[in-house]
């Protein structure tokens, strides 16, 4: 069996803890029951070695023996191919999961991330915030809501798509953005009630706390 290593920062300031994206990878690996270890890279002084693995100096990346992969979406697809707990093997099932992986990152997170950053900086009265608020709520959550009202998971079973979508929605929820979308809120609650999410979260919190 190959050696799987999740690389994240050695430390992070308190606000993003619990939301640093290595959590997505830890969660998937826990769901798959694949053994892995976690390595640290400096948060403050990012070395050339870091940029060689992640061109923007971000985290996480995954090492799978001599393969190194960055971008959480790409890592999820890589892990999905290793475990049916994360991604079905049949072409239809794989296609459905893959489209929701991209929807989570490319259709929802592309708007929710600037929305959350503006929330975080307290800039909620600007025109820019109004633009992203409409984008997230009117053009994304309002469409996701009836879908999630009828389904437990995005496809007919839990998959990497749910890890990504629920993590994306979790950040919106952090700033109360799901208040008018109860099915989205219930979906996040279902996802984070999973023991594998709870373990991943506790492990990430302990990892950063250790470096304080």
Ligand X SMILES: N[C@@H](CCC(=O)N[C@@H](CS)C(=O)NCC(=O)O)C(=O)O
Cβ closest to ligand X, residue 50 vs residue 140: 50
Which one of 34-42, 55-63, 131-139, 145-153 is the stretch in contact with ligand X (CB under 6 A)? Answer: 55-63
Would you say 27 and 79 are in contact if contact means Cβ atoms under 8 Å apart? no
Residue 58 interacts with ligand X (CB under 6 A): yes or no: yes
Contacts of 72 (CB under 8 A, 6+ apart): 21, 24, 25, 60, 105, 164
Residue 20 interacts with ligand X (CB under 6 A): yes or no: yes
**Nearest-approach distance from CB 117 to ligand X, in angstroms:** 11
Nearest C-alpha neighbor of 163 from the set 186, 197, 112, 136: 197
**Nearest-approach distance from CB 72 to ligand X, in angstroms:** 4
Size of the site for ligand X (CB under 6 A): 7
Q: What is the DSSP string of 102-153?
A: HIIIIIIHHHHHHHHHHHHTT--SSHHHHHHHHHHIIIIIHHHHHHHHH-SS
Q: What residue is closest to ligand X based on CB? A: 58
**Nearest-approach distance from CB 50 to ligand X, in angstroms:** 10
Q: Find how far residue 191's CA is from the centre of its chain.
A: 12
Cβ closest to ligand X, residue 44 vs residue 92: 44
Residue 200 interacts with ligand X (CB under 6 A): yes or no: no
- Binding residue (CB under 6 A) for ligand X from 63, 69, 72, 159: 72
Give the integer Cα–Cα distance in Å for 207 and 8: 9
Site residues, ligand X (CB under 6 A):
20-21, 57-59, 71-72
């Amino acid at each position: 069996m190959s050696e799987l290593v999740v690389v994240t920062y050695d430390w992070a300031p308190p606000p993003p803890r619990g939301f640093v994206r290595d959590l997505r990878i830890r969660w998937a690996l826990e769901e798959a029951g694949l053994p892995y270890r976690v390595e640290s890279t400096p948060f403050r002084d990012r070395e050339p070695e870091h940029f060689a693995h992640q061109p923007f100096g971000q985290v996480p990346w995954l090492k799978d023996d001599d393969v190194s992969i960055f971008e959480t979406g790409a890592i999820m697809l890589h892990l999905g191919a290793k475990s049916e707990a994360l991604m079905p093997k049949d072409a239809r099932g794989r296609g459905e999961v893959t489209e929701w992986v991209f929807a989570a990152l490319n259709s929802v997170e592309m708007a929710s991330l600037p929305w959350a950053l503006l929330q975080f900086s307290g800039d909620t009265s600007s025109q820019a915030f109004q633009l992203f608020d409409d984008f997230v709520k009117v053009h994304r959550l309002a469409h996701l809501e009836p879908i999630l009202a009828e389904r437990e998971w995005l496809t007919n079973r839990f998959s990497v798509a749910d890890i990504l979508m629920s993590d994306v929605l979790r950040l919106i929820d952090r700033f109360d953005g799901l208040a008018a979308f109860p099915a989205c809120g219930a979906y996040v609650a279902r996802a984070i009630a999973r023991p594998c999410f709870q373990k991943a979260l506790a492990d990430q919190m302990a990892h950063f706390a250790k470096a304080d």
